[in-house]
Each structure stands twice: as structure tokens, then as C-alpha cells.
């Protein structure tokens, strides 16, 4: 059963987000309002430090926790339907995850739709990863994480890296990943009332902004339709009340069928990317588990695979 804090958060999200959100509004007008709302939910933990930077021409932030294992790096890809959000909305979540993983995190401010449609986000993530390697980052000490659209982008990046023959990271964590922009999952319909934040209409509108002329089943846009063979270990956390629940379930099943070490945890009564709300006991527990997974993969120095030439 969800905690009382989670039940209160559910009501708050219905009041402040779902009931007031116009999925057909210009995403450029939504960004500032989303940032103001997200900033209510915590900043960088005490002792942490943020450093603005550019990586392969893409704006980003280094988030340094108070305690970090030298040599371990997390590349974080934020959510927001590929059209909103960025470092200002996700800095607190990334700082808490970096602290739990005891590693520095690079929070990428990739280009957003509709100004920069697919595959701009994938290109920025790929360029940032390659830049980290070029700077000497050991891929066996490198992990990737992302929430919502950033979770789908994480999988797309892994598939692109594998297909290009690049060294793969040690592992990846997915928080409520959006992996099917065709919106073909059963929970996209059945969880419409359960989900206090997302709606099918809003998701389809965001998909149109991002895809424009691209196919919703292109694996680099919707990695659910891609090949999962030889991907690194995955840990997926998702709320049971999400319309995107099937995006996680089906990805975990496909990855496991392909021989990938993929672990799925469904959190009862929790909403989309609940880890963003630090006052929830479930959020703290999830971040701790995700951080321990990322730290364990990096510290073990797991050998990376490359596609055959």
C-alpha cells in the first residue's frame, strides 16, 4: 500500500497538474510553468555542487555529490516528453541519485521539440556520450539513467551505441521510461483515471511534437520496437498507477527474452517519476536502490561489449 505522503501527492498532482494541464498548449509556453512547479520539490543536497558546462556543443551541468567514488560517472537524460523540462526541473532528483550512487553526474540539456524534433535528442545524447569517452572516461565506470522520455532516450542511446560498435556503459537505470510513442500499451487506456499526472491525450500530443514526420515505431524514438540483444544490465522502476506501466513491463520482458539482465520493480500506488518527490518514503527507497545498482555496476568495472565490425 502506498504511504499517506504518496496519497497526498496523488491528490496534489490531480489538482495542480492533470486538471490544469492543456495538452494542446504551445510547449514553449508550458516550460516556465513546469519549472516553477518542479522547483518546489528540492534542490541539491547539502554538500553537493553544480558546475555548468558544455559537452560536444550541448549545454549540461556536472552535479557533484559530497562523497563520490573517483572515476565513476553517471550520464543523466531528463524527462519531459521531449518538449519541456531540463536541468532546472531535474537538478534535485539527479543530485539525490548521484549522492546515492556516490558518483558525479552529467545532466544533459539536450535540444527540445517542437523546435528540434526527432532525432535531435538522440544525436545530443550520442554526442555527449562519445565526448565523455574521448575525454578518457572509462566506459566500464560509466552508467546512464533517465526518467520518462529520458528513460526511452537512454534505451535509444544504448541501441545506437551498440549498432555503431561503440563501448557500452556498465549499466542503465530507467525511471518510468516512455518507450512506446505509438501508445499501444493496454495501460495507456486502462490507467487513464488512475494516473494523477499523465493522460493519453497529453502523451500523444507530445509524441506528435517530437516525431513530426518520423514513425512512432522507429526504435530510436520508441525503443520498445528495437533489438535488445547485448545491452548492458537494466534496472527499471515504475509506479503501478501510471499509464506508462506497460512501457516498462514490455521492455523488461523483451530485454529478458534477449538475454539482458533486466530487473523490473513496480511500486504500488505510485505515480509517474515519483522519485522526483523527495518527501515520499517510497521515493527515498527507490533512489537508494537505483543508486546502489548504478554504484555496483560501476565499481565492479563490468566489461563492455561492442558490436562486431
Structurally, the chain folds into a number of domains equal to 1
Asked if residue 308 belongs to a domain, the reply is: no
pLDDT at 174 over 60: yes
Asked if residue 40 belongs to a domain, the reply is: yes
pLDDT tens digits, one per residue of 72-123: 999 999 999 999 999 999 999 999 999 999 999 999 999 999 999 999 999 9
Distance CA 196, CA 19 (A): 9
Asked if residue 304 belongs to a domain, the reply is: no
Asked if residue 307 belongs to a domain, the reply is: no
| Per-residue pLDDT, 18 | 83
Q: What is the CATH number of the domain that holds 124?
A: 3.40.50.1820
Side by side, which strands form the sheet with 49-55? 49-55, 58-64, 104-108, 73-77, 142-147, 171-175, 233-239, 262-267
In the chain, helix, strand, coil percent, each to 5?
45, 15, 40
| Per-residue pLDDT, 308 | 39
Asked if residue 306 belongs to a domain, the reply is: no
Asked if residue 49 belongs to a domain, the reply is: yes
| Mean of the per-residue pLDDT values of the chain | 93
pLDDT at 40 over 80: no
pLDDT tens digits, one per residue of 243-252: 999 999 999 9
Using 50, 70 and 90 to split pLDDT, how confident is the model at 22? confident
Which three cell numbers, joined as nine digits, stand for 142? 560509466
Phi-psi region of 118 (alpha: psi -120 to 50; beta: other; left: phi over 0): beta
The domain in which residue 229 lies consists of 4-299
Give the residue numbers marked as catalytic: 148, 242, 272
**Is 229 within 8 Å of 255 (Cβ atoms)?**
no
Asked if residue 305 belongs to a domain, the reply is: no
| Per-residue pLDDT, 307 | 44
Asked if residue 39 belongs to a domain, the reply is: yes
Amino acid at each position: 500500500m502506498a504511504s499517506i505522503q504518496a496519497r497526498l501527492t496523488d491528490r496534489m498532482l490531480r489538482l495542480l497538474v492533470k486538471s490544469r494541464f492543456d495538452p494542446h498548449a504551445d510547449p514553449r509556453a508550458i516550460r516556465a510553468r513546469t519549472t516553477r512547479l518542479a522547483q518546489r520539490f528540492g534542490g541539491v543536497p547539502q554538500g553537493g555542487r553544480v558546475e555548468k558546462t558544455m559537452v560536444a556543443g550541448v549545454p549540461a551541468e556536472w552535479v557533484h555529490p559530497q562523497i563520490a567514488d573517483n572515476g565513476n560517472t553517471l550520464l543523466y537524460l531528463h524527462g519531459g516528453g521531449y518538449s519541456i523540462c531540463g536541468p532546472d526541473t531535474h537538478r534535485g532528483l539527479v543530485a539525490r541519485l548521484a549522492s546515492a550512487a556516490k558518483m558525479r553526474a552529467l545532466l544533459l540539456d539536450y535540444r527540445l521539440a517542437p523546435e528540434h524534433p526527432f532525432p535531435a535528442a538522440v544525436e545530443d545524447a550520442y554526442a555527449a556520450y562519445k565526448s565523455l569517452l574521448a575525454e578518457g572516461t572509462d566506459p566500464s565506470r560509466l552508467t546512464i539513467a533517465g526518467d520518462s522520455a529520458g528513460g526511452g532516450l537512454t534505451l535509444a542511446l544504448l541501441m545506437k551505441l551498440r549498432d555503431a560498435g561503440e563501448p557500452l556503459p556498465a549499466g542503465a537505470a530507467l525511471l518510468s521510461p516512455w518507450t512506446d510513442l505509438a501508445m499501444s500499451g493496454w495501460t495507456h487506456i486502462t490507467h487513464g483515471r488512475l494516473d494523477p499526472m499523465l493522460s493519453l491525450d497529453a502523451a500523444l500530443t507530445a509524441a506528435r511534437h517530437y516525431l513530426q514526420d518520423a514513425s512512432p515505431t522507429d526504435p530510436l524514438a520508441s525503443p520498445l520496437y528495437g533489438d535488445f540483444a547485448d545491452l548492458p544490465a537494466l534496472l527499471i522502476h515504475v509506479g503501478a498507477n501510471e499509464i506508462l506501466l506497460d512501457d516498462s513491463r514490455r521492455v523488461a520482458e523483451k530485454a529478458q527474452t534477449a538475454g539482458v539482465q533486466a530487473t523490473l520493480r513496480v511500486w504500488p500506488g505510485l505515480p509517474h517519476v515519483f522519485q522526483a518527490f523527495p518527501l515520499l518514503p517510497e521515493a527515498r527507497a527507490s533512489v537508494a536502490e537505483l543508486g546502489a545498482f548504478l554504484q555496483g555496476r560501476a565499481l565492479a568495472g563490468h566489461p563492455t561489449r561492442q558490436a562486431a565490425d
